[in-house]
Amino acid sequence: MFKKIGPGVLVAAAFIGPGTITACTIAGVSFGYALLWAMLLSIVATMVLQEMAARLGIVTQKGLADIIKQELQNKWLKVFVITVVLGAILIGNTAYEAGNIGGATLGLEAIFGKLYNKFYPLIIGVLSFVLLWLGSYKSLEKIFVGLIGLMSFSFIITAILTKPNLSKIISGLFIPSMPSDSLLTVIALVGTTVVPYNLFLHASLVNEKWKSKSDLKTARWDTIISIGLGGVVSMCVIIAAAAIPGDEVKNAMDLAMGLEPLFGNTARYFMGIGLFAAGITSSITAPLAAAYVANSCFGWKASFKDWRFRMVWVSILLIGVVFLSFGIKPIEVIKFAQVANGILLPAIAVLLVWMVNKSSVMGAYKNTVIQNIGGYLIIAFSLFLGLKSIFKVIGLY
């Protein structure tokens, strides 16, 4: 089974980025183990939606955007939806790429210090470029399995070093609570885990790995194991952050430095390695996802080595390196991306649930009643979170 794991690992790597680690750090420092249930809920929701996207990709052997274009009959609605999807994911991933590279840079700072930190973004950018340019899907899959393993090991060891209280962890996981001022942190935890572009990425990646409907069971286990492992990593960050006294920790680098006086250099180095792995995987998967979405939206049917496919990911990677290297913070672009993703997640979830219920698309592999109940609950929850995130950006909350 583990030899067959692949696309799910890339999806897990995509959502365990610097944004997720920062949100988990803030959750742990501010609220201890109390919000572990929110991460557990996020992981279950991610598994449900990603399983649907993977199943759709295997059964149809098409990308999610291809199916949306195929099934939306109204010309103007089709153009509107594809334009929103393309704009939100391309612009969003471009805006967030600097943060992804920045996360890997922080990891290098924790390991090697700040003496050469001005070179770190370029090093990360070049490494990501080389892996994408020279790699194939199969080689990237192997690299990501290794990076996810390294990341998981690093964060799990970091959490163990803090000697957590197991009874409080179990309570935080299975007894939901909302401490004062925790709502926005809950929204951040869910919003950085249940990511719209991962649905497009997953539906496209499974076509690279599997061609037969007989592979659906393997794909389901791939999703469950990979996303579950990603959830364990996120929870370990929350647990490690809960060990830091006070509220001076605001990001993952602060967490790495804050662990050092309490638990020695070992914790800082493990945290740094994990943060580097998280940053480098996200800095690769974000441009890759954007390229797959553009490929589907424009109907290129381009291969991994096609110049158009490469043009998309090279552009996003280059912009990310430039933004970070010169300290450019495209606040308005990031705000647009946040609003667009707040709208996009419930909208794409609705379209996804609709399509995996169509016999003309899925045949005998359409949703069961239980899968539909899970899908509807996630749609309602994502709509609530989407509205909250939009209100936050425009200053109404």
Question: Which of 42-51, 67-76, 308-317, 386-395 shows the lowest per-residue confidence on average (mean pLDDT)?
Answer: 386-395
Alpha-carbon span 374 to 200, nearest angstrom: 19
**Phi/psi of residue 118, each to 5°?**
-70, -20
| pLDDT for 365 | 95
**Domain count of the chain?**
1
Per-residue confidence band for 376, with pLDDT thresholds at 50, 70 and 90: very high
Q: What integer is the mean pLDDT of 21-29?
A: 87
| pLDDT for 249 | 66
For 160-200, the pLDDT digits (tens) are 888 899 999 999 999 999 898 888 788 888 888 888 889 99
Q: Which of 343, 357, 285 is nearest to 67 (CA)?
A: 357
Dmax (CA) of the chain: 61
| pLDDT for 330 | 59
Alpha-carbon span 341 to 96, nearest angstrom: 12
pLDDT for residue 1 is more than 60: no
Q: What integer is the mean pLDDT of 223-235?
A: 93
Q: What integer is the mean pLDDT of 375-393?
A: 81
Per-residue confidence band for 140, with pLDDT thresholds at 50, 70 and 90: confident
| pLDDT for 5 | 72
| pLDDT for 133 | 93
| pLDDT for 327 | 76
Q: What integer is the mean pLDDT of 218-241?
A: 92
Greater confidence, 250 or 364? Answer: 364
For 47-104, the pLDDT digits (tens) are 999 999 999 999 999 999 999 999 988 889 888 888 888 888 888 888 778 888 888 8
Question: 90-104, 275-289, 339-353, 379-393 — which one is most confidently predicted on average?
Answer: 275-289
| pLDDT for 384 | 83
| pLDDT for 336 | 63
The answer to whether 196 and 88 have CB atoms below 8 angstroms apart is yes
CATH of the domain at 97: 1.20.1740.10
Q: What percent of the chain has pLDDT over 70?
A: 89
Give, rounded to a whole angstrom, the gap between the first and last alpha carbons of the chain. Answer: 46
Whole-number Cα distances in Å, 147 to 7, 71, 276: 14, 37, 9
Query: Mean pLDDT across the chain, nearest whole number?
Result: 86
Domain of 152? 2-394
